[in-house]
Amino acid sequence: MEGALKEGERWLLPGFIDLHVHGGAGADTMDGGDAVARLARLHARHGTTALLATTMTAPLDEVRAALDALAAHCQARPARAARVLGVHLEGPFISPRRLGAQPDCARLALTDTLHDLLARAPIRVLTLAPEEGAHLALIPWLVERGVRVQLGHSLASYEQGVAALEAGATGFTHLFNAMSPLQHRAPGLVGAALAHAQHAELIPDLLHVHAGALRAALRAIPGAYAVTDATAAAGMPDGEFALGRQRVFHCAGGVRLADGTLAGSALTMDQALRNLVQIGLPLAEAAQRLSRHPADYLGLQDRGRLVVGAWADFVELDADLRLRAVFVEGESIELES
């Protein structure tokens, strides 16, 4: 794949798969209605061919309503949009001491609550803080029901992180962000990921994580993959937007709360690809971090790769890695001019 293109030649890559998307085009997953279709169309125009609609921490009634609204979008793909593969439930089962940009509505997970939520929509990924309540004991229960448990928004120690992996957790939510950091005598959740993980999310907007830390994680974690953590601000001009119950501000390329805390991003996956190449990854590896690795994480052999029998999800890029064409399940997506 590497090497200079001749005039008129293009790169053909598998479509991008984003497992952590809150919004785009001014729409937020917690809004209900046509919000998910709007954000899925925006991200398709930036090369994302499949995604997980990601919820925010909120009171349970709001989480239930969001899941009820998302369920229909998981069953049928809107025209000109990315396929919604299911839901990433990012809260409310997180640490109230590591909320990041999540609203202060964290709560402990209980089996009755989880039963109810799992019945409403296909939850493919669930983020929790393993040190809270009985969360560690609930991990095998969730895994048995086909949920991939990710560790995040957590103050877990290294030992608690390793115990969660041994219990069946398989990923880390936006590695480095909103979790106990790596220190040489207290390795924290970041240390558990770097030492033991096969998979982890990374936000390569070059704001959430320093390029050196990105490279360290990509070297240590074989199946680490890029996510956008995109908010309603993605694809929009600077301004004020909703992120669940929070008000966030898109300015200078980032999305922040009023106090300056990073609050998701305005990143799209085509820009994530360019950023990974910019920090030194070969294009072939960068492409895999946006396609094959997230597909493998979800156990999908028919997406994230250009092979006979896979969905016709692919992108065409020029020598500057700018999108020239996107196909989602064989449908040509009209790009922004």
Catalytic residue annotation: 229
Q: Do the Cβ atoms of 85 and 51 come closer than 8 Å?
A: yes
Q: Could you give the CA distance from residue 141 to residue 324 in angstroms, rounded to a whole number?
A: 44
150 Cβ contact partners less than 8 Å away, ≥ 6 residues apart: 125, 126, 127, 128, 169, 170, 171, 172, 173, 201
Q: 16: helix, coil or strand? A: strand
> Pairing between strand 123-128 and 83-90?
parallel
Backbone φ and ψ of 290, nearest 5°: -105, -5
Q: Could you give the CA distance from residue 239 to residue 18 in angstroms, rounded to a whole number?
A: 24
Q: Do the Cβ atoms of 243 and 256 come closer than 8 Å?
A: no
Print burial letters for 96-109: b (CB count within 10 Å at least 16), e (below 16): bebbbbbbebbbeb
Q: Could you give the CA distance from residue 237 to residue 281 in angstroms, rounded to a whole number?
A: 29
Q: How many helices (H) and strands (E) does the chain have?
A: 10, 17
274 burial level (CB within 10 Å; 0-12, 13-18, 19+): middle
Angle, alpha carbons 163-291-182 (nearest 5°):
35
Q: Can the peptide bond before residue 92 be classed as cis, meaning omega within 30 degrees of 0?
A: yes
1 burial level (CB within 10 Å; 0-12, 13-18, 19+): exposed
Q: Could you give the CA distance from residue 181 to residue 299 in angstroms, rounded to a whole number?
A: 29
Longest dimension (CA), the chain: 60
